[in-house]
């Protein structure tokens, strides 16, 4: 049975006027989409395809030209719909002179937290995003990946049930991206619904349960990662240490059956990103205390 819906987008259209006598821009052209409770949904699409506009409409930051958006059954245009949602924008701005702890505390106060509960929340979130050790360092000295993680802590400060992330790993190196993916997986394990957009397809593939593909304001494909990536016309057999003779025999058998058979160069490929991460992890294991 399908999970209950966390966010619903119905026949969403958004056009922008760009000036007197100039043509309007159709950023989103009639999108229907559901984000189910507890899932990680990834929206992918090239630059200018309408991802941010759709997210902003869902967050009630832009008013639909036509159609509607709702979060846990409440219209996105209603102020109380914001109570359940945390947002990390594409290029968040933070005060560089504040420390990590002060930053999260600042956003916590804006959300009405104070005293012991605020202190406890700040500690818990810095722990969750892996910045407990950097809590008292100023943001001016944080890396891009650390800033994105502080951004996630900020988005989580009011304990939302839906987390919306606009390009959470943009400009972050593969190690930093992996940290962010781990946080998303951890949040999913705690029952959080996550809606993210990205053009880093491989990362979306690794972390998302379902993916929507948006192009020129239209949702042109949607499904689970398995459904979308499976080539149902073909089957792949992986053999360990197969001898050339065995390979020849197998090829002959398949040919006798009248089917096409391909033998690439014999070995399946890992993604460059997974090779890069694996090499770094192996090196770190071998060098637990590297020289600075």
- List interacting residues with ligand ATP (CB under 6 A): 16, 18, 25, 27, 45, 47-53, 199
Residue whose CB is less far from ligand ATP, 187 or 200: 200
Residues with Cβ within 8 Å of residue 123, at least 6 apart in sequence: 132
Tell me how far, at minimum, the Cβ of 150 lies from ligand ATP, in Å.
21
To ligand ATP, the closest distance from the beta carbon of 131 in angstroms equals 26
Q: How far apart are CA 229 and CA 224, in angstroms?
A: 9
CA–CA separation, 12 and 26 (whole Å): 11
Q: Which is nearer to ligand ATP, 16 or 95 (CB)?
A: 16
Residue number, 45 or 100, with CB nearest to ligand ATP: 45
Cβ neighbors of 281 (< 8 A, separation 6 or more) are none
Give least dist CB 21 to ligand ATP, A. 15
Dist. CA 271–CA 44, nearest whole Å = 19
Residue 92 is encoded by which pair of tokens? 């968040």
Query: Whole-number minimum distance, CB 26 to ligand ATP, in Å?
Result: 8
CB of 43 to ligand ATP, least distance (A): 9
CB of 53 to ligand ATP, least distance (A): 3
Closest distance of CB 185 from ligand ATP, Å: 24
Of the pair 138, 199, the CB lying nearest ligand ATP is at 199
Cβ closer to ligand ATP: 51 or 210?
51
What burial class does residue 26 get, using C-beta atoms within 10 Å of its C-beta: 0-12 exposed, 13-18 middle, 19+ buried?
middle
Angle at 181 between CA 54 and CA 100, to 5 degrees: 90
**Which residue's CB is nearer to ligand ATP, number 33 or number 125?**
33
> For residues 26 and 36, which CB has a smaller minimum distance to ligand ATP in the complex?
26
């Amino acid at each position: 049975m399908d999970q209950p819906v966390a966010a619903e987008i119905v026949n969403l259209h958004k056009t922008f006027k760009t000036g007197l006598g100039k043509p309007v821009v159709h950023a989103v052209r009639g999108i229907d989409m559901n984000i189910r409770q507890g899932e990680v949904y990834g929206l992918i699409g090239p630059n200018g395809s309408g991802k941010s506009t759709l997210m902003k409409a869902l967050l009630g930051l832009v008013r639909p030209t036509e159609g509607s958006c709702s979060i846990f059954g409440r219209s996105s245009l209603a102020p109380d719909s914001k109570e359940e949602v945390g947002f990390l924008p594409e290029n968040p701005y933070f005060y560089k002179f504040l420390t990590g702890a002060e930053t999260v505390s600042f956003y916590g106060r804006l959300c009405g937290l104070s005293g012991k509960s605020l202190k406890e929340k700040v500690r818990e979130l810095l722990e969750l995003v892996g910045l407990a050790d950097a809590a008292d360092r100023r943001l001016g000295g944080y890396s891009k990946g650390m800033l994105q993680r502080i951004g996630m802590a900020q988005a989580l400060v009011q304990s939302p049930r839906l987390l919306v992330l606009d390009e959470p790993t943009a400009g972050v190196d593969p190690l930093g991206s992996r940290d962010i993916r781990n946080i998303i997986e951890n949040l999913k394990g705690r029952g959080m619904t996550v809606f993210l957009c990205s053009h880093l397809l491989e990362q979306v593939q690794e972390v998302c349960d379902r993916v929507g593909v948006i192009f020129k304001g239209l949702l042109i494909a949607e499904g689970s990662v398995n459904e979308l990536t499976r080539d149902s016309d073909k089957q792949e057999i992986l053999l360990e240490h197969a001898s050339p003779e065995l390979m020849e025999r197998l090829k002959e058998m398949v040919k006798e059956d009248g089917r096409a058979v391909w033998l690439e160069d014999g070995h399946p490929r890992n993604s460059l990103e997974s090779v890069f991460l694996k090499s770094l992890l192996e090196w770190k294991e071998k060098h637990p205390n590297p020289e600075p």
